[in-house]
């Protein structure tokens, strides 16, 4: 069974309500910061397992509505899997958390 769907008929009422808010914020370009953004091939995505509705672009960047109702990137560390809103996590770049970046830098200087 697919957990991730773009099929609106599978969203249900609550996820569709969130989707409508996401689209409105996206249409009005209401972003939390200048760093938050999506590229091309943006789609509405629903994770039927977690219940999370978000926007995703062709490079798997994700954006969700934060508590203040504006769009913010959801970052995930490609090394340790830590994830969260850009404003709530300490990331070195969009795909590496600060901790993993420092460990990488450390292992480079040790060798
Ligand atoms: Zn990490």
pTM, full prediction = 0.88
Q: How far does the centroid of ligand 1 lie from the alpha carbon of residue 36, in Å?
A: 19
Q: How far does the centroid of ligand 1 lie from the alpha carbon of residue 88, in Å?
A: 14
Residues of the domain holding 64: 4-110
pLDDT at 60 over 70: yes
Tell me the C-alpha distance between 23 and 38, whole Å: 13
The domain tally of the chain equals 1
Q: How far does the centroid of ligand 1 lie from the alpha carbon of residue 74, in Å?
A: 14
- The per-residue pLDDT for range 27-41, each reduced to its tens digit, is 999 999 999 999 999
Residues 21/11, Cβ–Cβ less than 8 Å: no
The rounded percent of the chain whose pLDDT value lies above 90 is 92
Mean pLDDT for the chain overall: 95
- The per-residue pLDDT for range 66-102, each reduced to its tens digit, is 999 999 999 999 999 999 999 999 999 999 999 999 9
Q: How far does the centroid of ligand 1 lie from the alpha carbon of residue 16, in Å?
A: 32
Residues 91/73, Cβ–Cβ less than 8 Å: no
Q: How far does the centroid of ligand 1 lie from the alpha carbon of residue 86, in Å?
A: 14
């Amino acid at each position: 069974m697919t957990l991730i769907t773009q099929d609106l008929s599978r969203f249900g009422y609550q996820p569709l309500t969130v989707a409508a808010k996401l689209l409105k914020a996206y249409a009005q370009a209401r972003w939390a910061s200048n760093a938050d953004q999506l590229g091309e091939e943006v789609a509405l995505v629903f994770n039927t397992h977690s219940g999370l509705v978000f926007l995703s672009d062709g490079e798997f960047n994700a954006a969700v509505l934060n508590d203040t109702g504006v769009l913010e990137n959801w970052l995930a560390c490609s090394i340790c899997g830590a994830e969260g809103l850009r404003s709530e996590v300490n990331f070195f770049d969009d795909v590496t958390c600060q901790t993993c970046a420092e460990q990488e830098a450390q292992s480079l200087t040790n060798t």
